[in-house]
Amino acid sequence: MRRLSNTPLAFPDFKGVTRLLILVNLASFFILLVIRTLSGPLSQEIAQFMAFSPWELTHGAFWQPFTYSLVHGELGTTFFELLSLWFVAGFLENLHPSRWVMGLYIASVLGAAAAALAIYGVAHAFGWSVANQPLYGCFGALFGLMTAIGLLHGDVEFLLFFTFNVKARFLAAIYCLVALAMLFSQQSLYAFSQLGGAMAAVLYIWVAPRRGISTWFSEAGYKLVNGYYRWKRRRAGRKFEVYMRSQGKTVRVDGYGRPIREDDPRDRSRWN
């Protein structure tokens, strides 16, 4: 694990998950750019197919929460977006396992989509007016990564606008306040999705282990399998108790299905 200075001035190493995420987003951007150059209408259809729309999701477009972050806008916006992704993802990857950072990114992407769907559904239920704007880009994931930095490394200072230092926790709070202010504008769906990415990052930090969400699933699977075999051993032990009782002997088993001998002092502590 690399030790960083209190005020990081240089970009982190371009490696691991950070490099993978940036290259995948760059490839998607240039592929859509080439298609747009060759056939503008086809590019728009592909972008609409991949971008997230709450209305289309409710009508069967189940892939959009996973693909919308690969759709990007203009070159300047995409450049700033991917530059920010390099900085925040690389910063976290220097301090945490790569699988953990990837899980955090995916959770933030899905959390942003879930928040957009939630506010659209609530507005539709109460008859409020919310623009059904397509959601695209990885700003929700960036918000989640920045929130993780603010929670886990809040004392680290960043050079804001190349002028003054701001602690990470205050920078994350500023982003949240800006998103809250945007809720009262025409960008309410977009702003609420960013807050959803931040909330998903908070939940991920609380729930997922530091080695990544895949490790959590594998450990949960092993725990389930071990619990099943322990239940089988206890069941066999109970049957053994019944059999020995029919033979005129009393035998008890512990929680692991192992016989307990009453006359053995080492086994007395395992009596149920």
pLDDT of residue 58: 80
Q: pTM (2 decimals)?
A: 0.72
**pLDDT at residue 266 is higher than 70:** no
| Residue 270: pLDDT band with limits 50, 70, 90 | very low
Query: Given a cut of 80, is residue 268 above it in pLDDT?
Result: no
**Does 106 have pLDDT greater than 90?**
yes
On the question of pLDDT at 3 being above 50, the answer is: no
Tell whether the model's pLDDT for residue 9 goes beyond 60. Answer: no
What's residue 145's pLDDT? 93
Q: Is the pLDDT of residue 26 over 90?
A: yes
Lowest mean pLDDT of 60-69, 85-94, 194-203, 221-230, name the range.
221-230
Residue intervals of the chain classified under CATH 1.20.1540.10 are 16-211
Written as one string, the DSSP assignment of 61-101 is -TTHHHHGGG----HHHHHHHHHHHHHHHHHHHTTS-HHHH
Q: What is the DSSP string of the chain?
A: -PPPPSS--S-----HHHHHHHHHHHHHHHHHHHHHHH-HHHHHHHHHHHSB-HHHHTTT-TTHHHHGGG----HHHHHHHHHHHHHHHHHHHTTS-HHHHHHHHHHHHHHHHHHHHHHHHHHHHHT-----PPB-SSHHHHHHHHHHHHHHSTT-EEEETTTEEEEHHHHHHHHHHHHHHHTTSTTHHHHHHHHHHHHHHHHHHHHS-TT-HHHHHHHHHHHHHHHHHHHHHHHHHHHHHHHHHHTT---EE-TTS-EE-TT-TTTGGG--
Fold of 16-211: Rhomboid-like fold (1.20.1540)
Lowest mean pLDDT among 111-115, 121-125, 143-147, 204-208: 121-125
Question: Can you tell me the mean pLDDT for 65-73?
Answer: 90
Least confident of 44-48, 109-113, 198-202: 44-48
